[in-house]
Structure 1
Amino acid sequence: MRKLLFLFSTILLHSTTKTQAQTAAAAAAPPPAGPPNITAVLEKAGQFSTLLRLMKSTQIADQINNQLNNSNTGITVFAPADNAFSGLPAGTLNSLSDQQKVALIQFHIVPSLITAQQFQTVSNPVRTQAGDTDNGQFPLNVTSAGGQVNITTGVVNTTVSNTIYADSELAVYQVDRVLLPEEIFDPAAAAAAPAPGPASAKSKKKKGAGDGPTTSPSKEADASSGFRINRVEMGRWVGFLVAGSFISLNLLL
């Protein structure tokens, strides 16, 4: 009986110890990794309170997070720090409509992942979520030289100063200035820029090797007029010849 009681106690103790070990291991294991969260990334980096406020008020933060959950192309964000927004003229943000604020923040977002190495081969103009560059809307030009990444909007020129976050889905780069698009801050220049498109159907046809010489309408008129004059002169001479022949015939008779 004692042996059975000892054996039962041993089994019960082993089972309890194993259960406690499994519970402790489960508690220590990190939660499964999920898509990155732009809000969490910027909050952890610090110094991006103005950008975060604009992203939340325009609901663009939720839009980015949804794209990260449902897209395979990734996202690139150019993030101006608070001191970049402080460098804007007083009242700049307050003067914008809600729609313009949305476009301004979307202008800082590229709907594809651009790694640090890809800055050297990126094709310009870079398409942002603010508009379609195929129609000449919101063009953003990014170049890389000597390890420095330069960004031009047509209104401001700035550089990428730091990589805030980078993985296979999201890249966040700090920029020294707020990216101001021409469509909002210099609409006259944006309207004057030629939009890409097919060549006009009214373009002149090039003269081929088989094409004959062309004559202007005025020259054609002059030639026609000269021909009419020659016909009149010829008629007069024929008249004189006929009259002269008639007189000579009468004299001979």
Structure 2
Amino acid sequence: MATTFKPFSTLNFLASLLIILQCTTTLAQAPPPGPSGPTNITKILEKAGQFNTLIRLMKVTQMSDQIDTQLNNSNQGMTVFAPTDNAFASLKAGTLNSLSDQQKVSLLQFHVVPTYLTTSQLQTVSNPLRTQAGDTASNKFPLNVTTSGNQVNVSTGVVDTTVSNSIYTDGSLAVYQVDKVLLPMSLFGPPAPAPAPEPLKKKKSGAGDDVPATNDGSASADASDAIAFGSCFSGLFTGTVAFITALYL
């Protein structure tokens, strides 16, 4: 039985060769998968978009470097509340420029919780929530987180807002979007009331007084005796002068 061979067309050969060459080139150019790099808060915010003002403030105050260092050198984790550009734009004109460098640092620290909190943990945290700004007293840096259904509310005593979006989470860093800048009481709250004036103290008698008072009244008696003696002496002197004058007349 004769075997029939089908001719292999030149066109099919060239097409196959082109596919092989293309696959070989793609494999040669594809870089091997590398390990994930260290956490970088700036890159996370840049990728999310609409956080340019926050990024600029973090760079100026070096807060971004501090956050990255802490995240990459500890297992404690961190939670960041990130205000959008619109949140900063809604502030009163000149608000940020009126702050000193240290106050800007405190403002950003007020947006950072030094522990990793998931959305479910935010619903059960104890208030006031401690931030990197420190003191949680009512007139300092109190941050209160409450929930209503699935909505997470954040209050500072100056502003109230909600967590509108979860931007990033990796088990050690959580970044949540807020639509208002979290203004702390210490920087933006009403001034503390002035202390009440102290009652006036009764003036004590000093050593320079003309007649020092004593309990038994001896000073007053001495003064009276001195006045009486002076009067008697004056009268006696006047009488003597008059008597001598009469003898010579």
Q: Please indicate, yes or no, whether the TM-score normalized by the shorter chain is above 0.5.
A: yes
Letter in 2 for 1:44: K
TM-score by length of 2: 0.64
Say how many residue pairs are matched. 171
Measured in 1, the distance between the counterparts of 2:60 and 2:144 equals 27
- Contact 1:162 / 1:174 at 8 angstroms: preserved in 2? yes
Q: Residue in 2 aligned with 1:173? A: 176
Aligned-residue sequence identity (percent) comes to: 68
Q: Which runs of 4+ in 1 moved over 3 A?
A: 24-27, 134-137, 189-192
Q: Residue in 1 aligned with 2:102? A: 99
Does residue 151 in structure 1 map to residue 154 in structure 2? yes
Q: Residue in 2 aligned with 1:246? A: none
Q: Residue in 2 aligned with 1:131? A: 134
Unmatched 5+ residue regions in structure 2? 1-23, 196-249
Does residue 30 in structure 1 map to residue 27 in structure 2? no
Letter in 1 for 2:102: Q
Q: Residue in 2 aligned with 1:163? A: 166
Measured in 1, the distance between the counterparts of 2:194 and 2:39 equals 38
Q: Residue in 2 aligned with 1:201? A: none
* Offset of residue 31 of structure 1: 1.6
Letter in 2 for 1:183: S
Q: Residue in 1 aligned with 2:20? A: none
Unmatched 5+ residue regions in structure 1? 1-20, 193-253
Q: Residue in 1 aligned with 2:73? A: 70
Letter in 2 for 1:59: Q
Measured in 2, the distance between the counterparts of 1:134 and 1:161 equals 27
Letter in 2 for 1:98: D
Secondary structure at the aligned position of 2:191 is classed as helix
Letter in 2 for 1:140: L
Q: Residue in 2 aligned with 1:210? A: none
Measured in 2, the distance between the counterparts of 1:139 and 1:34 equals 34
Measured in 2, the distance between the counterparts of 1:171 and 1:190 equals 38
Q: Residue in 1 aligned with 2:243? A: none
Secondary structure at the aligned position of 2:45 is classed as helix
Letter in 1 for 2:177: Q
* Offset of residue 75 of structure 1: 0.6
The structure with more helix, counted as a fraction of residues? 1
Residues 81-132 of structure 1, C-alpha deviations (whole Å, 9 max, x = no match): 0000000011100111111100001100000001011011111111101113
Does residue 43 in structure 1 map to residue 31 in structure 2? no
Measured in 2, the distance between the counterparts of 1:94 and 1:149 equals 30
Q: Residue in 2 aligned with 1:122? A: 125
Measured in 1, the distance between the counterparts of 2:145 and 2:35 equals 36
Measured in 1, the distance between the counterparts of 2:28 and 2:78 equals 35
